[in-house]
Amino acid sequence: MAALRRRWIGILILVGALYAVPVLVDHPYTLHVLTVALIYGVLASSVNLSLGYAGMLSMGHMGFAGIGAYTMAILVQRLSFPYWLAFLSGVVLAGLAGIAVGVPSVKLRRSSFVIVTLAFGIIMHLFFNNLDDLTGGAVGLPDVPRPPALQLGSWAVDFTSNTTFYFLVATTAIVVVGMLHLIARSGFGHLLVSIREDEELALMRGVNVKLYKVVCLGISAGLAGVGGMLLGSYLRVVAPMSFEFRASIDVVLITVLGGVGTLAGPLLGAGLFVALPEYLRITNELRLVIFGLILVVLILYSPQGLMKVVEAAIGKVSPGRAGRHHNGDSVTRVGYHG
Amino acid sequence: MGSLIAEQVFNGVMMASVYALIATGLVLIFGVMRVFNFAHGEFVMVGAYVTTFVFAATRNYFLAILAAMAALAVMGVIAERAVFRRLRSLHGQVIAASGLLLFFQNLAVLLWGPHALRTPVPYRTMIVNVLGFTVSVQRLLVVGISLVIMLLLFLFLHKTRLGTAIRATAQSQDAAYVVGIDVDRVHVVVFAISAALAGLAGALIGPLFLTYPTMGSLPLLKGLAAVIVGGMDSIVGAILASLLIGITESISTMFISSGFKDAVAFFMLVVVLVVRPRGIFGSAVRGE
């Protein structure tokens, strides 16, 4: 019980810190870095759902993110949809794209699934880049709106300021991680893990493996859409560059860096991936050279990611946490053997 | 119209030779080691850079090609020893290879700059007349050299002890151990050959197009498409699929905007996987 309470206190402190940053640090650059990191955290969390819980490695997740972002931008700009209705449509369409990709591909061998999602991501990028009339071609769609002001009685929250938009992004990240937590603890989540661990066994026990995998990919793609729309709204532009094949690799990398199948891992990974190089003042290329190497070393020596390293460190400090792996909810955090 | 089609078909065959070199390398390591090398495109890129530099120093294109193949064989051995032999799971391999991809692509930018380099091989501008239409000697060289190397590879795999050992290991690793094949050595050799083929692909396309850090990405993806369409474990299948993809792609530019040309291979890939998951020429699925 003490361990559990300590865990909740830890989560509360983290959430509090997330919200306190703009109040404590009046520094636009820090805010920018954190906003981008949290958006990538959302994108990585969506990868985490399909990869970490159901064992489906998608190399085309930015394709889903792009579908969400372009849907939202086009609906708002061309058809004058209200922002949040367009946002919701973006989530739904990205989710449907996930289902459409999932239906024919989840029954394939794992290697083929990787390739199909990769091909999907590349095809989507080619569409974004070449359907000039619809997507604005290589330039993309400029002047993507921020969400409208939120009216709470006489108090209005206006998202055009980067500070308030940060709160929106932070809240979304917390909600997404909370959602993943609930999914992981639910019967659905346990079935996903059982599929990841042994698909044959799950099939024999009568689990509708295909259905669960498709639904999982659909939710994951919808979440990627959320990430894509936040990115578009924040940068005020939706352009094909954001949804490249290598961006899809980046989000997988972030997930693995932080820890596949752990809740906080993707946020940790995104923080390191986005923030560290900004502050070390190294070029983007050198950053990717270093992260590429780190990834290889990590996969060789600690395939469960940095979260595992952090947990082990915390476990050494406070014995209460080390025992957690043996209690009830350990099923969602058992080692990832992909 | 007729000569235009013939020209596109020849272009298709030329690109297909490059895809086939890449696809064959991928099939070899996938067949023998069940390893999926996503960083293979970066091998192509490094091969092109080696060619560019050796050609600049010696003015001898054929020497540059050999240097690229040799350098890549060494790189392949290092990659196998340091990374891939330790990774058994598919996801581990894919992720490690993605790490290598980021590493090599960005290292190339740091070392040699983001701009494209020219390799002024004289064969690019040398024109000959073949069967009534004109082609550059460089394009003929791409097809010719690929053909010769593929034949040599076929002879090696079928007529030598080591080649037979490789085929045996591809059929069953356990059985290979039982009959006393040095499986470890087979793995190293296969990786070296595969990387050398990628180096050759780079050496051939570098002078035709340009040499730049991300030049390996698209050819790799086309090669991967050919591997899947061809059935994962068959070299002949991969070669036929390369031809199918190369020619279809090339002819498609007559009908659709060239921006979508690259989508052709991936549409074919998705259609084939959905309709016939084992690939057009694939045998029954063996494990993961």
Model confidence at A327, pLDDT cuts 50, 70, 90, reads very low
pTM above 0.80, yes or no: yes
What was the pLDDT predicted at A316? 58
- Identify whether B277 is part of a domain: no
- Identify whether A308 is part of a domain: no
> A120-168, pLDDT tens digit by residue?
998 899 999 989 889 988 889 998 988 888 777 777 777 888 888 999 9
Model confidence at B246, pLDDT cuts 50, 70, 90, reads very high
Is the complex ipTM higher than 0.85?
no
Segments forming the whole domain that contains residue B141: 2-215
What was the pLDDT predicted at B24? 95
CA distance B144 to chain A (A): 30
- For A101, the closest chain B residue by CA position comes to B270
**Cα-atom radius of gyration of chain A, to the nearest Å?**
20
B87 interfaces chain A, CB cutoff of 8 Å = yes
Model confidence at A317, pLDDT cuts 50, 70, 90, reads low
Neighbours of B173 (CB within 10 A): 17
DSSP string, A8-76: HHHHHHHHHHHHHHHHH---HHHHHHHHHHHHHHHHHHHHHIIIIIH----S-HHHHHHHHHHHHHHHH
Buried b (16+ CB within 10 A) or exposed e, A143-155: ebbbbeeeeeeee
User: In total, how many domains does chain A have?
Assistant: 1
pLDDT for residue A283 is more than 80? no
Smallest Cα–Cα separation from B60: which of B121, B118, B117?
B121
Taken in order A320, A324, A325, A326, is the CA torsion positive or negative? positive
B96 interfaces chain A, CB cutoff of 8 Å = yes
pLDDT for residue A325 is more than 50? no
User: In total, how many domains does chain B have?
Assistant: 1
Helix (H) or strand (E) holding B239: helix B235-252
What are the backbone dihedrals phi and psi of residue A304, each rounded to the nearest 5 degrees, phi first? -90, 5
Q: Which residues of B touch A303 (CB under 8 A)?
A: 92
CA distance A183 to A331: 12
Average per-residue pLDDT in chain A? 85
Alpha helices in chain A (DSSP H): 2-24, 28-48, 54, 61-78, 83-105, 110-130, 132-135, 162-185, 187-197, 199-204, 209-235, 245-258, 265-280, 284-301, 306-317, 319-322
Q: What is the rounded average pLDDT of the residues B43-66? A: 95
- Identify whether B272 is part of a domain: no
What was the pLDDT predicted at A320? 43
Of all residues in chain A, the percent with pLDDT exceeding 70 is: 91
DSSP string, B102-159: HHHHHHHHHHH-SSPBP---GGGT-EEEETTEEEEHHHHHHHHHHHHHHHHHHHHHHH
pLDDT for residue B285 is more than 70? no
- Identify whether A212 is part of a domain: yes
Smallest Cα–Cα separation from A64: which of A256, A220, A193?
A220
- Identify whether A292 is part of a domain: no
Average per-residue pLDDT in chain B? 88
Instruction: Tell if the CB–CB gap between A110 and B267 is shorter than 8 Å.
Output: no
Segments forming the whole domain that contains residue A237: 25-243
- Identify whether B170 is part of a domain: yes
**Tokens, residue B170:** 């591809």
Q: Return all residues near A39 (Cβ < 8 A) that are at least 6 apart.
A: A169, A227, A230, A231, A234
- Identify whether A47 is part of a domain: yes
Model confidence at A26, pLDDT cuts 50, 70, 90, reads confident
- Identify whether B50 is part of a domain: yes
Q: Which residues of B touch A108 (CB under 8 A)?
A: 273, 277
Whether B61 contacts B207, CB under 8 Å: yes
Helix (H) or strand (E) holding B242: helix B235-252
B95 interfaces chain A, CB cutoff of 8 Å = yes
pLDDT for residue B79 is more than 50? yes
Q: Dihedral through CA A64, CA A66, CA A70, CA A72, nearest 10? A: 60
Instruction: Tell if the CB–CB gap between A122 and B260 is shorter than 8 Å.
Output: no
What was the pLDDT predicted at A319? 46
Residue from B98, B271, B276 whose CB has the most chain A CBs within 10 Å, to mutate: B98
